[in-house]
Chains A and B, each alone.
Chain A
Amino acid sequence: MLGRPDIRLVVIVAVALVAVFALPMLTSERYLLRVFTFVGVNVIIITGMALLFGYAGQVSLGHAAFYGIGAYASAFAVINLGWPWPAGVALAIVLTAAGGFLLALPSLRLKGHYLAMATLGFGEIMKVAFVEARPVTGGPDGLSGIPYPAIGPFEFDTAGLAYWLVWGVAAVALLLAYNVVRSRAGRAMRALHGSELGATACGIDITGIKVRVFVISASLAGLAGALYAHVVGFVSPSTFSLHVSVLLVAMAVLGGTGSLAGPVIATVLLTLIPYSDAVIPGLSRSALETIQEWQEDIYGLTIIAVMLFVPGGIGSLIRRMAPGRGEAR
């Protein structure tokens, strides 16, 4: 009933996959790999945000908190409890899934701005908790010396290995999300976005869908946190502030609704802005500093421009280029 994936889509995805995974073999520049590893971490988070915001139409201004919970949980489990990294990841996922369940509860009663405020409150509370829970989080100074991700005796201890690990996880997350949006549940999610009452009248369990999509998106953010902490080796509360939540929403808005590819492209673009020197060779130091200084404004202007000129975001541009197909079917 869903049809087979279009051949063009398969080709594009295959080429993108090869390009992404070949990068560490084409360059040995650590900085470039680090930057793109960071892009991959954000892609994992945005995969969940795309489901939550772009498909189910639920706003969250608190997802940076899940990112943080995942990072601290995994770092704490590995450093202080001596757990192996995969167990730290599991803890990160369990905690953030539970958090996602809790955050879903207001979504059952609140919509739009009110839900945004409730999730914003959650994010702010967690930020305070990150600062105050010194024994676990190291307080405002954060945690440093977090060991590399390791599976058994194998350590992902070079920039290239960390890159592959993160993008491997991102690819799996995207594949799972792709299967979700093409399923009956994915269509029901989009229906929720269209009209909750209409969806209910169709016999769609909107409570169940909201809870599931919050849990999935929260645990993807938690998973990304557990990767970030160990790849970077250092975490502090500022990494998980409101600013990050807003950036995530910006990526989701720029990416557009009812699309996975759009938000992924938006994430790559917006994540690269402060690291423009990694992708633009010969970019002068002062130009980079200007970009970094104006970073927030660039995000803000991007959102305004998208709202004005391409309300459907990058996703709608993709659909326009390839009419009659796409994930949104």
Chain B
Amino acid sequence: MSSESSAALEISGLSAGYGRVEVLRDIDLTVARGEMVTLIGANGAGKSTLLKAVVGLVAPSAGSVRLFGADVTRMSPERAVREGLALVPEGRMLFGPMSVEENLRLGAHTRSAEEFSAERDRVFELFPVLSERRGQSAATLSGGEQQMLAVGRALMAQPRMLLLDEPSLGLAPRIIAEIFAALETLRSRGITILLVEQDARLALKHADRGYVMRTGSIALHGAADELLANDDIRLIYLGAWRGEGE
């Protein structure tokens, strides 16, 4: 159904918003297969809205989204998950009263029961601490463990493309490093990644390419190291670096 040459994710001319309020205007963004691309921008720029529009949580008013060559524009989120797209939402959105294991089971909702334990073990391999906490309720995990669970839950759907919305938010540098190491592992397994981050420097260090969003449109994009070296970027987006002094 999809040709080998097509990109993993191809967003063209996408506009979307909430009700009559247009948030995204004419967005073009492409992620090649196996690539890790980051989307950075100030608070309220529309990064989360773009991810929501891609997975079908927000209906686009114009433009198209193609996933591995297949048109997924206006597809329902549950169809999108079945098509191999998984979102790690902003704020994690875990099932607090349920155990780690149950959260993972729900992540595998679109998968057959037989696939569960093998996939769960792969998640435990990636984040061994989750294995120790498997019977504990998600609400009682530390922030870092919760973020790992959010990523693990998304992986249970066995996605080909992973969208992450600010996985580093509020976490200690050591934990952030652990999560980014896991993302690198996932990329080496062939999973394509689109990563939304506030911490532009961190994101650009790991990503292949980056897009910079400004009030609902893409202001510029390019190779990650070019963006890191770009004076405008340094001034506007990297000026407010967290973790300064490295």
Which residues on A are within 8 Å of B, measured CB to CB? 1, 184, 187-188, 190-191, 194-195, 197-205, 258, 329
Contacts and interface: CB of A to CB of B under 8 A. Distances in A.
Decide if the interface of chain B is mainly helix, strand, loop or mixed: mixed
Decide if the interface of chain A is mainly helix, strand, loop or mixed: helix
Contact of A203 (B81, B96, B102, B105): B81
A321 to B, nearest CB: 18
Interface in B83-103: 86-89, 92-98, 102
28 contacts: A1-B116, A184-B113, A187-B109, A191-B95, A194-B94, A194-B95, A194-B96, A194-B98, A197-B57, A197-B89, A197-B93, A198-B93, A198-B94, A199-B106, A200-B57, A200-B77, A201-B87, A201-B88, A201-B93, A201-B154, A202-B107, A202-B110, A202-B153, A202-B157, A203-B77, A203-B109, A203-B110, A204-B109
A184 B107 CA distance: 12
Contacts of B82: 203
Contacts of A205: 76, 78
A311 to B, nearest CB: 11
B41 to A, nearest CB: 21
**Chain B interface residue count: which class?**
20 to 34
Given A195-B95, A198-B95, A204 B57 contact: no
A121 to B, nearest CB: 23
Contacts of A200: 57, 77-78
9 nearest A-B pairs in the assembled complex, by CB-CB distance: A203-B81, A194-B95, A198-B93, A203-B110, A195-B93, A1-B113, A203-B78, A200-B77, A197-B93
B72 interface: no
Nearest to A195: B93
A1 B118 CA distance: 13
A6 to B, nearest CB: 16
Given A190-B98, A203-B82, A205-B76, A198 B109 contact: no
Nearest to A198: B93
Nearest to B79: A203
Contacts of B157: 202-203
Contacts of B88: 201
A183 to B, nearest CB: 11
B212 interface: no
B150 to A, nearest CB: 8
Contacts of B86: 201
A208 B117 CA distance: 27
B161 interface: no
B55 interface: yes
A201 B55 contact: yes
Contact of B109 (A184, A194, A258, A329): A184
A201 B89 contact: yes
B81 A202 contact: yes
A184 B97 CA distance: 17
B140 to A, nearest CB: 14
Contacts of A258: 97
B97 A194 contact: yes
Given A188-B109, A198-B93, A198-B153, 20 more contacts: A1-B113, A184-B109, A187-B105, A187-B106, A188-B106, A195-B96, A197-B89, A201-B89, A201-B93, A201-B154, A202-B106, A202-B110, A203-B77, A203-B80, A203-B81, A203-B82, A204-B109, A205-B76, A205-B78, A329-B102
Interface in B20-78: 55, 57, 76-78
Nearest to A208: B78
Contacts of A190: 95, 98
Nearest to A199: B106
A199 B107 CA distance: 8
Contacts of A184: 109, 113
